Structure 1
Amino acid sequence: MPSFGLYYPWTHFQNDNWLKLALLTWDRLARMRPPAAPDRDGDLVRRLRGETDFLVETAPSAAVLNVVAESFGEIFDADPGRLLDRYGLDEPRACDGDPRGPGWRGYAPPITQHMVMGPPPVEVLTAVPVGGPGAKMTGGLRDGLVRLGLAVPMDGQWVGLDPELASIYLAVLADAMSHREALSPVTDDPRMHHATGALDRLVSLVFDEHVPVPAVENVSSAYLQIALETVLEPSHVDRVPGEKLISFREKHRAELAVFQAHVASLGPELQAAAEADNLEVAVAHLRALYETRTRPQLEELRKALRGMGIEASAGTLVQKIDLNAAAGTVLGSVAAAGGQLAVAGVAVAVTLVPYLAGKTKARRQQMAKSPVAYLLAADRKLTGRALLRRDR
């Protein structure tokens, strides 16, 4: 499965809980944030930027921008009147900052990427960078949009678009860039158009022609997140401190790679969810697959560890000493100490080291063989009970 995601359509992340799950799901996550854009990142994003290699700042190449510009240009040349009727900037899209004014279609940009035009009733537009490092649009396409009345130039190298047209443009841009850079587009804004395949669906998107689109954009990452949510309980994700997630990710990268391979092996079985048009149906397929293919392996791993004297229930991992197996060392040490417990304690501590080391080695080998060891690690370290112990 792809291990490198491309965040779209916005410059800044909108949901910290989504980002926390992304941190546990992807090896890396790229985003298109121009260097000149104001730094409006939250504490979690700044921590990820400063302490990990998880976030990658990137920009579309000139080749990607040209492909998108040519595709949009062909549509604008074919039917400019129809475009103006739908996306022209002669009518306000929102009144006095209220996103539900005339013409509202549900695509208002976040405050970090919008511009307001004119006196009340105001018009809220989406700002897109043009030219310079981190540009998301060619100068030629910007000029054509402005001439048609579909965009307005802004201060600096930015242009303002109708929010819905901008959401389509940014989805198509993410799709084109993903193909070129072997990335997988992901978003934390459920209102947005799916980027996957958006370039091929451009005409239907622009003219609002209904074309069935799978409800789940990236079925492999969705499956991985459902597996994690089943273990972690989504309501508790917001309680997991950022530093704990960062530490967990760094420690369990190898297990994540193995689990990603397990998910990739389910490719044919994931197809039903990948083709579902209804989100509830897609999620039901994924949950059913988890119950039949992944959860049994997780229970088998727990059972195997318990059989080795290791308790692996949710939120805990306790080493249990098998006195019968250790009798030769433990009881022998007590006898050697003449029944004196104070002396025996030292002897037991010394002689148990090889025994415990053997148990630890066996545990590591068992974990290394399992494709679901990553889920068990998340269960141990990131669940509500683990956090409760930490707080205490």
Structure 2
Amino acid sequence: MLQRIGLYYPYVNFRDEQWLKTAALYWPQLARIVPDRFPVTDSDTARALTAELDFVVPVEPSSSALGVSSVFLDVIAAYADDLRQRYGWAVAEPQPPGRAYLHWGEVAPDVREALFAADLAVPSRGTRFSEPGVDDWVGMDPALVWVYKCALSEEVARRGDFVPTTDQAAAHAASHGWDAERVADALLDRTSELREPREALSGDLADVVGMLAVRIVVPEELDAVPVGKIVELRRRHKDEFDTFNREVTAAAADLREHLADVTLPTAIDRYVSMEVGRRFERPLEELRRAMRGLGIDTAFSAANLKFAVPATLAGMAGGVYAGPLVSTATGVTFALAGLARTATGERQALRASSPSAYLLSVEKGLETRSLVRRVCRRIPGAGGDIA
């Protein structure tokens, strides 16, 4: 089963650093719509994820803009007067308050001309990103921009087989089925009697399942975790990540099939939460218990030592080259080493068999304070304060 790639929308520049770090823990890659000559202003986090993991992938939107052009041309032709009353602009005003902008490359030429002719948009260079003397932007009412970007993002996702994902809750609630009727409904506040609401299933389930699974182990102070830790996790645990990602994809496919006719949001939320618990949360707790059972404490049990000391080492107790105490200690040392190797092998086998092993790695790898430091904070005179 192919891994899925997320598609960030409706913006180009990421708005939520914590969301981006979380997304990097469950998406193999994250595409975003970047028109030619768009002035990207990435944060250090976004730049590091791109440079180190090739995580952020730009997608040029011109062909997809052509794909949604007929939808918007139909809506403008049918409802130009109604739209103008709601969203029309005084063209003579150079930069009216509240205007939002689409980049020139995001809108097909015939749609731009139709918007200009209907007084729904104006060509603009009035942004801080504009090049002198170049109309790089289409100024419109924010509601028009929002609907257009959601429709364009859905078309890009369809053409690229991407999964739409966003840090903007309002966009998640409006990411399904942008045909002419749906666009008109959204812009004119209409509710079609023939269209059954499907908001509960908006946002692909692969995104929902992945986010919920990762949040089981992501620390609340993720914004304080250096992005380098996330890069290191992804590099060191590639196989575990792949196993985890396959399980996310499989869970989303099963949920999509079984919830195809379910429209109650509460029911969908419950089913998704139950499936995440069954596939990830409970196996993670079982893996934690199993790993603790193979910890170093087992090496010091008398029963383990009694049966683990090799016969050849036990026979050395009265040997010529070592006294009983030394040789016994040597035997115990070799026995402990053997137990450590056995436990390590069993731990590796456990991790290899569990889709939740990656979550365990995330849990350990993103701890903002080491175990030693946490313990020291609780011991007087150990170099730390008492918690």
Q: Name the residue aligned to 2:68.
A: 68
**1:243-301, Cα deviation, whole Å (9 max, x unpaired):** 101111122232222223223333444654995564x6644443233334433322332
Are residues 388 and 220 of structure 1, via their aligned partners in 2, closer, same or farther at CA, if it must alter by over 3 Å? farther
Task: Tell me, in whole angstroms, the C-alpha distance in 2 between the residues paired with 1:46 and 1:11.
Answer: 13
Q: Name the residue aligned to 2:218.
A: 232
Task: Tell me, in whole angstroms, the C-alpha distance in 1 between the residues paired with 2:184 and 2:51.
Answer: 41
Q: Name the residue aligned to 1:207.
A: 188
CA RMSD of aligned residues (A): 3.4
Alignment map for 1:231-270 (pairs within 5 Å): 231-233=217-219, 235-266=220-251, 267-269=253-255
**1:360-381, Cα deviation, whole Å (9 max, x unpaired):** 2222122111122122222222
Q: Specify the code of the residue in structure 1 equivalent to 2:186.
A: L
* DSSP 3-state at the match of 1:194: coil
Q: Name the residue aligned to 2:100.
A: 126
Task: Tell me, in whole angstroms, the C-alpha distance in 1 between the residues paired with 2:299 and 2:336.
Answer: 12
Task: Tell me, in whole angstroms, the C-alpha distance in 2 between the residues paired with 1:275 and 1:154.
Answer: 45
* DSSP 3-state at the match of 2:287: helix
CA-CA distance at 1:85 after TM superposition:
1.5
Q: What are the ranges of 5 or more consecutive residues in structure 1 without an aligned counterpart? A: 92-115, 312-317
**1:100-122, Cα deviation, whole Å (9 max, x unpaired):** xxxxxxxxxxxxxxxx954xxx4
Q: Name the residue aligned to 2:309.
A: 327
Are residues 301 and 42 of structure 1, via their aligned partners in 2, closer, same or farther at CA, if it must alter by over 3 Å? same
Q: Name the residue aligned to 2:272.
A: 286
Between the two proteins, what is the percent identity of the paired residues? Answer: 29
Q: Name the residue aligned to 2:56.
A: 55
* DSSP 3-state at the match of 2:216: helix
Quick check: 50-59 or 267-276, which moved more?
Answer: 267-276
Q: Name the residue aligned to 2:128.
A: none
Q: What are the ranges of 5 or more consecutive residues in structure 2 without an aligned counterpart? A: 126-133, 377-387
Are residues 50 and 293 of structure 1, via their aligned partners in 2, closer, same or farther at CA, if it must alter by over 3 Å? closer
* DSSP 3-state at the match of 2:106: coil
Q: Name the residue aligned to 2:174.
A: 194
CA-CA distance at 1:325 after TM superposition:
4.7
* DSSP 3-state at the match of 1:159: strand
CA-CA distance at 1:183 after TM superposition:
0.5
CA-CA distance at 1:226 after TM superposition:
1.3
CA-CA distance at 1:354 after TM superposition:
4.8
Q: Name the residue aligned to 2:362.
A: 378
Are residues 88 and 334 of structure 1, via their aligned partners in 2, closer, same or farther at CA, if it must alter by over 3 Å? farther
Task: Tell me, in whole angstroms, the C-alpha distance in 2 between the residues paired with 1:55 and 1:146.
Answer: 33
Are residues 388 and 328 of structure 1, via their aligned partners in 2, closer, same or farther at CA, if it must alter by over 3 Å? closer
Are residues 48 and 292 of structure 1, via their aligned partners in 2, closer, same or farther at CA, if it must alter by over 3 Å? closer
**1:330-381, Cα deviation, whole Å (9 max, x unpaired):** 974984642565x887776667555433332222122111122122222222
Q: Name the residue aligned to 2:158.
A: 179
Alignment map for 1:270-309 (pairs within 5 Å): 271-272=258-259, 275-276=262-263, 278=265, 282-307=268-293, 309=294
Q: Name the residue aligned to 1:338.
A: 323
Contact 1:4 / 1:26 at 8 angstroms: preserved in 2? Answer: yes
Contact 1:117 / 1:124 at 8 angstroms: preserved in 2? Answer: no
CA-CA distance at 1:47 after TM superposition:
1.3
CA-CA distance at 1:73 after TM superposition:
0.4
Q: Specify the code of the residue in structure 1 equivalent to 2:49.
A: L
TM-score by length of 2: 0.78
Quick check: 158-167 or 349-358, which moved more?
Answer: 349-358
TM-score by length of 1: 0.77
Contact 2:62 / 2:108 at 8 angstroms: preserved in 1? Answer: no
Task: Tell me, in whole angstroms, the C-alpha distance in 2 between the residues paired with 1:391 and 1:160.
Answer: 57
Could you say which structure has the larger radius of gyration? 2
Within the candidate set 126, 130, 137, 2:107 is matched to 137
Q: Specify the code of the residue in structure 2 equivalent to 1:161.
A: M
**1:69-102, Cα deviation, whole Å (9 max, x unpaired):** 11100111112101112221249xxxxxxxxxxx
Q: Name the residue aligned to 2:89.
A: 89
Task: Tell me, in whole angstroms, the C-alpha distance in 1 between the residues paired with 2:260 and 2:324.
Answer: 65
Task: Tell me, in whole angstroms, the C-alpha distance in 2 between the residues paired with 1:153 and 1:272.
Answer: 44
Q: Name the residue aligned to 1:80.
A: 80
Contact 2:62 / 2:106 at 8 angstroms: preserved in 1? Answer: no
Task: Tell me, in whole angstroms, the C-alpha distance in 2 between the residues paired with 1:153 and 1:31.
Answer: 24
Contact 2:237 / 2:358 at 8 angstroms: preserved in 1? Answer: yes
Q: Specify the code of the residue in structure 2 equivalent to 1:124.
A: G
Task: Tell me, in whole angstroms, the C-alpha distance in 2 between the residues paired with 1:152 and 1:344.
Answer: 88
Q: Specify the code of the residue in structure 1 equivalent to 2:353.
A: K
Task: Tell me, in whole angstroms, the C-alpha distance in 2 between the residues paired with 1:349 and 1:384.
Answer: 34
CA-CA distance at 1:174 after TM superposition:
0.7
Contact 1:29 / 1:55 at 8 angstroms: preserved in 2? Answer: yes
Q: Name the residue aligned to 2:379.
A: none
